[in-house]
Chains A and B, each alone.
Chain A
Amino acid sequence: MTVEQSDAQLVSRCREGDADAWNEFVERFSRYVYAICGRGFRLAQHDAEDVFQEVFARAFEKLPELRSDDAVRPWLAMLTRRLCIDKLRLLARDTTSEADPDEEEVGDVLAQLDDAMAVRAALDSVGDPCREILDRFFCRDESYRTIGDSLDMPAGTVASRISRCLEKVRVELDGRSRGSRPS
């Protein structure tokens, strides 16, 4: 297992000007911001890139003003959402496309992405080799064969490792869930 730093601890280090912390911050939230742009608002890749860079540029500027370090994820979600809507409105000025997306639909996607981030945090806690193998299979869509070739193991072993690693992540999530329940 790896020692996972909380969002609040990471934000605090960023605020102190720790360059490694900023790299970690971008690494931790890049998938989330990317998924909001793509899955939530279905932005084309080049429009998503504009929003993605703008989100991190504003995050870098505004992080010192964040009221609660724990609230960084919802704050980033709100910022990304707002910038995606601005982008869609800008695009709609030049085309006949709908400017504003279906709020309910976007809300559902964001709720799923929050759950996905919880799974991701559990996966980070479980650490490698499970993190690498599950990331390759589920997030990078690599085949058993490709993973096996890269990690030097038979494809059949990859399948059983994936299964065992999913079980580990489930146990980690159960532990977190029990820990967060009021006693």
Chain B
Amino acid sequence: MNEFDEERIGRLLRLLPPAPEGWVRAAQELPAARAMLDELVARAEQDAAFRLQLQADLERAVAAAGYEPSPFVISRLRRLLRTV
């Protein structure tokens, strides 16, 4: 690590602005989202009718199952369902 003077400290701090709040919140909610995704995938594996609903309209089926179909959840679920 090089020596730091006040000017350099200021310059380096400027390189790290905060990420948008919504992004940070979504990442922090991952553990809860993960549990929800596991549950939806398990249900899709066991329930053919539910699997068909997911294939027909993913967002609608997720909402109908009582979950918030956030873009993050939908994109992860789409990926996970490819293996079901």
Contacts and interface: CB of A to CB of B under 8 A. Distances in A.
A166 B9 contact: yes
Contacts of A116: 12-13, 15-16
Please tell me the size bucket of the interface on A: 35 or more
B32 to A, nearest CB: 9
B76 interface: yes
A138 B14 contact: yes
A31 B18 contact: yes
B27 A26 contact: yes
Contact of B16 (A22, A32, A57, A174): A32
A117 B16 contact: yes
Contacts, number: 99
Contact of A173 (B9, B27, B28): B9
Greatest chain A CB density within 10 A among B9, B10, B30 is at B9
Choose among A26, A60, A177 the residue with the greatest number of B CB atoms under 10 Å from its CB. Answer: A26
Interface string A31-70: 1111100010000000001101100110010000000000
B75 to A, nearest CB: 8
Given A30-B19, A32-B16, A140-B17, 14 more contacts: A22-B30, A26-B27, A27-B24, A30-B27, A34-B23, A52-B23, A53-B72, A115-B2, A116-B15, A118-B1, A135-B13, A163-B6, A170-B9, A173-B9
Closest 8 CB pairs of A and B: A34-B19, A138-B13, A56-B27, A166-B6, A116-B12, A31-B16, A30-B19, A116-B15
Interface of B: 1-6, 9-10, 12-20, 23-24, 26-28, 30-31, 34, 72, 75-76
Interface of A: 19, 22-23, 26-27, 30-35, 39, 49-50, 52-53, 56-57, 60, 112-113, 115-120, 123, 134-135, 138-141, 163, 166-167, 169-170, 173-174, 177, 180
